[in-house]
Structure 1
Amino acid sequence: MSLLDHFHKDEHPFVERVLEMIGRVENRMVTVRTDFLDPGQVFIVQSLVKRSHGVFFSFFGGYDGAERVRVILYPEYQEPEQEDFGMKGLEISGGGGSYLTLDHRDYLGALLGLGIRREKCGDILVHEGFAQLLLGEEIVDYVRLQLTKVNKVTVEGKEIPLGQIQQVAKTGKTITFTVQSPRLDAILGDVFRLSRAKVLQPIRNGRVKVNWRTGTDPSWLLKEGDTISFKGFGRFQVLSLGKETRKGRIPVEIFLYGG
């Protein structure tokens, strides 16, 4: 069994890139930096680094608790500083009352519309009246000058120190229900009110991710803390799995983001 066999086929290109980067650190004793990664990709990096020799890694997303981060791989004697992660903050404001209706999807769509690749963008923090973007330093000036509209709302941007980044409380709602088994297909169907038959094919087609990694097994047993995303439907986190009831069902509590 090759190393790639331990990963989903969709992850193979990323795994190969990380292995190439690890090889550069091992053979040339240099420091290398990734673009912004999601938690699933960070897990892959961590697992591959553990197989290496003399390679260490550190990650940073612009503030404590960031979801999307840049990772630096380095030899033992070259531990990175914060500025080595190469990111800056950009605050977007404007638009008056209508501006308040803009959400994460609007900002991400505006960035992608400028030709910016997703991996150059970190977290997008939407506040009341403004938003803060974490971006690779190599694109900050371009975005600041070119991002003038977000979903038809006129906006303007200014660079801000990372120390001024403000975290946002997660928005959504808590949902409780019971299932016969904490299988991926069962919980996914209940959360989005779909029959199990209607979630099987999307799971097998790779439209569902468990903890940011593609999950194609409908029978996968979820556990507390797991985060599941369903392309086109949304994302939720399993908060708790209770004890089996007398009727043989398991109480489930989830948090549905943005609900």
Structure 2
Amino acid sequence: MSTDFRVHFHPDEHHFVDKALDWIERAADNHQVRRTDFLDPRQAFILETLANRNPDVQVRLDGGYPEAERKRAIIAPDYLSLDDEDMGIRVLAVTSADAKIAQLEHSDYMGALLALGMKRDKIGDIHAGEAGCHYLVAEEAADYLRLNLSQVHRVAVHTELLPLDKLATTGSELQEMSLSVASMRLDGIVGDVWKLSRAKALVPIQAGRCRVNWKPEENPSAQLKAGDMVSMQGFGRFKVLEVEGTTKSGRLRVKVGKFV
């Protein structure tokens, strides 16, 4: 890949770009078929963008259900039919006799898998509800997780593997917040959402722990807009829902939804 081409991607993304280019070249030149781990929306966008530059390659994305955020991809020569290709996705169902399971959140279920040494790439969307959780997981990790996941945040759990048609999805719950901000700067809005001083908001942003629309963003003065999804490692994520207008004092009224 040329140096000029690299400037279109954040340095943190170069490793994935290189892998994606290798998958595409192998499909085009060696007629190989590759099934990836779960990709976030930014990675899926990068892969499709690169694949669209090569007429001999096609990509299929699937996360186990139509509205999936995280998806696996199959990269293949353009002459193959991918409609019946197995995406290798299973549903890991988690239940418990302990009533405390109703208090568990998305972050608790994520932490339980990561504590087992599981890579995030093997985990798709997570649907947590009052009765338990349905994880979308890579089939190559499914049996390991079924056998080893016995506790989530000190709640004893039972696990079983289900076919995809048994998936029970849960909508993301947003806690709406109305902010009055001087500008749409990233550091200011991040600080207001998570109640951090400007100085404390700078630290994770400049350390590369913040993403805007799944793309790394290290510039504290980056301007947000309605529709932007912001995530920060260790804090969570929120979506800018609406810029509602300007107050008499010249400040902006902004509505955000924090994922809870």
- Aligned partner of 2:94 in structure 1 is 92
- Aligned partner of 1:23 in structure 2 is 25
Q: TM-score normalized by structure 1?
A: 0.92
Deviates more, 1:54-63 or 1:245-254: 245-254
2:134 is equivalent to residue 109 of structure 1: no
Offset at residue 26 of structure 1 (A): 1.2
Aligned residues: 258
- Aligned partner of 2:128 in structure 1 is 126
Alpha-carbon distance between aligned partners in 2 of 1:201 and 1:32, rounded to the nearest angstrom: 38
Alignment gaps of 5+ in structure 2: none
Deviations 1:167-192 (A, max 9, x none): 21222310112222212122212222
Name which of 234, 237, 246 aligns with 2:236: 234
RMSD of aligned Cα (Å): 1.8
Alpha-carbon distance between aligned partners in 2 of 1:169 and 1:24, rounded to the nearest angstrom: 38
Offset at residue 29 of structure 1 (A): 2.2
- Aligned partner of 2:194 in structure 1 is 192
- Aligned partner of 1:50 in structure 2 is 52
Alpha-carbon distance between aligned partners in 2 of 1:186 and 1:107, rounded to the nearest angstrom: 30
Alpha-carbon distance between aligned partners in 2 of 1:238 and 1:128, rounded to the nearest angstrom: 27
Q: How does 1:152-191 map to 2 (within 5 A)?
A: 152-191=154-193
What is the DSSP-based 3-state SS (H/G/I as helix, E as strand, rest coil) of the residue aligned with 1:237? Answer: strand
Task: Decide whether the 8 Å contact of 2:245 with 2:254 is kept in 1.
Answer: no
Alpha-carbon distance between aligned partners in 1 of 2:185 and 2:113, rounded to the nearest angstrom: 36
Offset at residue 97 of structure 1 (A): 1.0
The one-letter amino acid of 2:245's match is K
Alpha-carbon distance between aligned partners in 2 of 1:10 and 1:93, rounded to the nearest angstrom: 37
What is the DSSP-based 3-state SS (H/G/I as helix, E as strand, rest coil) of the residue aligned with 2:140? Answer: coil
Task: Decide whether the 8 Å contact of 1:125 with 1:168 is kept in 2.
Answer: yes
Alpha-carbon distance between aligned partners in 1 of 2:111 and 2:52, rounded to the nearest angstrom: 36
Task: Decide whether the 8 Å contact of 1:31 with 1:78 is kept in 2.
Answer: no
- Aligned partner of 1:207 in structure 2 is 209
- Aligned partner of 1:32 in structure 2 is 34
The one-letter amino acid of 2:227's match is G
Identify if the C-alpha distance between structure 1 residues 193 and 82 changes in structure 2 by more than 3 Å, giving closer, same or farther. Answer: farther
Task: Decide whether the 8 Å contact of 2:246 with 2:253 is kept in 1.
Answer: yes
- Aligned partner of 1:59 in structure 2 is 61
Alpha-carbon distance between aligned partners in 2 of 1:16 and 1:85, rounded to the nearest angstrom: 22
Task: Decide whether the 8 Å contact of 2:55 with 2:78 is kept in 1.
Answer: no
Alignment gaps of 5+ in structure 1: none
Percent identity of equivalent pairs = 41
Alpha-carbon distance between aligned partners in 2 of 1:209 and 1:220, rounded to the nearest angstrom: 11
Q: How does 1:65-84 map to 2 (within 5 A)?
A: 65-81=67-83, 83-84=85-86
What is the DSSP-based 3-state SS (H/G/I as helix, E as strand, rest coil) of the residue aligned with 2:179? Answer: strand
Alpha-carbon distance between aligned partners in 2 of 1:115 and 1:179, rounded to the nearest angstrom: 40
Offset at residue 82 of structure 1 (A): 5.5
Task: Decide whether the 8 Å contact of 1:92 with 1:157 is kept in 2.
Answer: yes
The one-letter amino acid of 2:220's match is P
Alpha-carbon distance between aligned partners in 1 of 2:204 and 2:136, rounded to the nearest angstrom: 31
Task: Decide whether the 8 Å contact of 1:95 with 1:153 is kept in 2.
Answer: no
